Amino acid sequence: MPTAAAATLEPMTPVPFRVLGMRKELPDTYTLDLAPADGDGPLHFAPGQFNMLYHFGVGEIPISISGDPAATDRLTHTIRSVGAVSRGMGTLKAGDMVGVRGPFGSAWPVDEARGRDVVIVCGGIGLAPLRPAIYHILANRPSYGRLVILYGARSPRDILFRRELERWGGRLDTYVDATVDRATGEWSGNVGVVTNLIRHSGFDPVDTIAMVCGPETMMQYTVEALRDRGLDNTRIYLSMERNMKCAVGFCGRCQFGGAFVCRDGPVFRFDRIAPIFRVWEF
């Protein structure tokens, strides 16, 4: 059972999990639902954490958990096909087996955000790592102030979890806005970068926690836009997607200044990484 304790005791040993189902989200993106092969449970993780998924005979990749933290009978991962392992996992069927290590890493500050406004800004598949935080906030809605969800995609056909975004936006206690880089078809919504939405969304900059995930260039400009709205670096959190390999800080592949993304991240408060944020990996 990949609990936090199990990850600490045997962090390099994959646990067999069975595929419950696979569903296409976008032409290049799919979601896997997994359950322990031995039926053991319950499963626990914090919003923002990730697992290492092992496709037997192919390799292993880090993938953020994208499901509901309250659903303790399964683990859900949303994956974009960008390499041999992620493409191979996209061919799995119900009943197939994968290895799971984790959960690993830091989490979104959902406890610290209680009583405050929450602004969630995401681009592309960056919505997947933030989805558990959204589920948690919506399940405990009276404990939070205004909830603002801002999402950007390349085109209307690239909008991830579109039906969920529409459902969340239909709530009276949640503000959702989306934009695309280029409009196609019958799209009549916003066109432009997601940072354009920040200036028009209503939240109290004095008492707001912001959570951001997406391409690093997008996050850079999002931080600038949030600071222009009055947030300081201690109230902005980013999920970094640097090259993680071992997930426990052994190999050094994801070293980020004096930190390791796998061990000290992937979620960082921005003041911790601001001096090195624009230093790109090679």
Q: Where are the domains of the chain?
A: 4-104, 117-276
- Cα angle 189, 194, 200 (rounded to 5 degrees) comes to 75
Beta pairing, strands 255-256 & 190-191:
unpaired
The tokens of 69 are what?
A: 């933290």
pLDDT band at 200 (very low <50, low <70, confident <90, very high): confident
What is the CATH code of the structural domain delimited by 4-104? 2.40.30.10
Q: Identify the CA nearest to 262 among candidates 92, 51, 15.
A: 51
Region 140-162 average pLDDT: 97
Q: What is the pLDDT of residue 7?
A: 43
| Residue 111 DSSP symbol | T
With a CB cutoff of 8 Å and minimum separation 6, the contacts of 34 are: 17, 18, 19, 20, 74, 75, 76, 77, 98, 100
As to burial, measured by CB atoms within 10 angstroms (0-12 exposed, 13-18 middle, 19+ buried), residue 210 is: buried
- Across the chain, what does the average pLDDT equal? 93
Helical H segments across 90-180, by residue range: 127-139, 162-169
Residue 4 has pLDDT above 60, yes or no: no
Q: What is the pLDDT of residue 185?
A: 83
Q: What is the pLDDT of residues 32-66, one digit of tens each?
A: 999 999 887 799 999 999 999 999 999 999 999 99
With a CB cutoff of 8 Å and minimum separation 6, the contacts of 267 are: 48, 105, 106, 107, 108, 109, 211, 237, 238, 239
- Tell me the pTM: 0.93
Q: Which of 3-7, 120-124, 169-173, 174-178 has the lowest mean pLDDT?
A: 3-7
Looking at the domain 117-276, which fold is it? Rossmann fold (3.40.50)
